[in-house]
Amino acid sequence: MSQLAPRIHLASRSPRRRELLTQIGVQFDTLIFRDGNRADKETDETPLPDENPIDYVQRVARAKAEHGWRCVGWRKLLAQPVLSADTTLEFEGEVIGKPVDAADAGRILARLAGKTHRVLTAVAVCQDQRIETALSISEVRFSALDATAIRRYVDSGEPMDKAGAYGIQGRAGMFVEHLAGSYTGVMGLPLFETTQLLRRFGYPL
């Protein structure tokens, strides 16, 4: 009898994270949380008062992984590791999340234009009573952007579901003047750190 290939649960809706896991050959099942008015309070991404960006992104990633593991039990799913991640931007000490609307996306991009910001991505893996996390920090410098470039990008719709109102793997790649760190971390799942975590949980990579 052949042995089943190892798999994990991915606690994320992000298509970029699915693509990146597939890129390195990880087999996974997507674990979906409720959102909107019925969203699980355990996965609330609202920063706490005076919470610094590193603590924030690690807390959210950890909370998603722990809640994902609880969902595995409640839904009677296979007891395979749960992987989650959270990405945020830090600009001038402030957490910059996803834009609430097109006008907000334009304001965020105008602030980032011509300056350097940090992209923080925390990854967490949870199984049974064990949870481990890893953190990727990258510095990204944008070129100067005029109002026309910002408007065209916002009109494309690409910024709307992304931390910092841009996706480096999409059209916003043309804004990036310099990157120091992890390209996949800026995308939303740093593959080096993710691989190390999964190996520690026995996933064969």
**Position of tokens 């830090």?**
90
The answer to whether residues 26 and 197 touch, using CB atoms and an 8 Å cutoff, is: no
Q: Name the active-site residue from 40, 86, 101, 155.
A: 86
Neighbours of 88 (CB within 10 A): 22
Max CA separation in the chain (angstroms)? 62
Residue 5 to residues 17, 28, 203: CA-CA distances in angstroms? 20, 10, 10
- In the three-class reduction of DSSP (H, G, I as helix; E, B as strand; rest coil), residue 135 is classed as strand
Beta-strand ranges (E) seen in 20-129 are: 28-30, 82-91, 94-96, 116-127
Distance of CA 186 to the CA centre of its chain: 8
Catalytic annotation on 104?
Answer: no
Neighbours of 173 (CB within 10 A): 12
DSSP 176: E
Q: What is the rounded CA–CA span in Å between residue 161 and residue 165?
A: 7
**Position of tokens 């064969």?**
204
Task: Give catalytic residues, as residue numbers.
Answer: 86
